[in-house]
Amino acid sequence: MSIDIDHLPVTNNRDRGRYEVRLDDQLGRIDYILDEGLVTFTHAEVPPALQGQGIAQRMARTALEDARQEGLAVRSLCSFVSWYINQHPEYQPLLRKEGVA
């Protein structure tokens, strides 16, 4: 299955606290907790059949752009989101500085 990543819809499912990509019956997601101006990304998951196609990167980019637009600080407890931020330094200013509530 060839996926057009740039046009892949990513949904912010606020009720479930996660960004989602749905393809057929498959669900990719990045879970988060939102609390008083801080979004904490906790977990990323893409089904094995969809891995390696850039879906998690598309979700991470969307989530971080949303955080930027909403003026949220970011904390990542998710190794994938942390890796993505390290690879894309334009998102590093969003990271919450240690010791700042």
| pTM, 2 dp | 0.90
Percent of the chain's residues with pLDDT above 90: 81
Assign 3-class secondary structure to 12-37.
EECCCCEEEEEECCEEEEEEEEEECC
Angle formed at CA 45 by CA 64 and CA 66, multiple of 5 degrees: 15
Give the tens place of pLDDT for each residue, 17-66: 999 999 889 999 999 999 999 999 999 999 998 899 999 999 999 999 99
Give the tens place of pLDDT for each residue, 71-93: 999 999 999 999 999 999 999 99
pLDDT, greater one: 25 or 3: 25
- Residue given tokens 């393809």 in the structure block: 23
Confidence of residue 96 (pLDDT cuts 50, 70, 90): confident
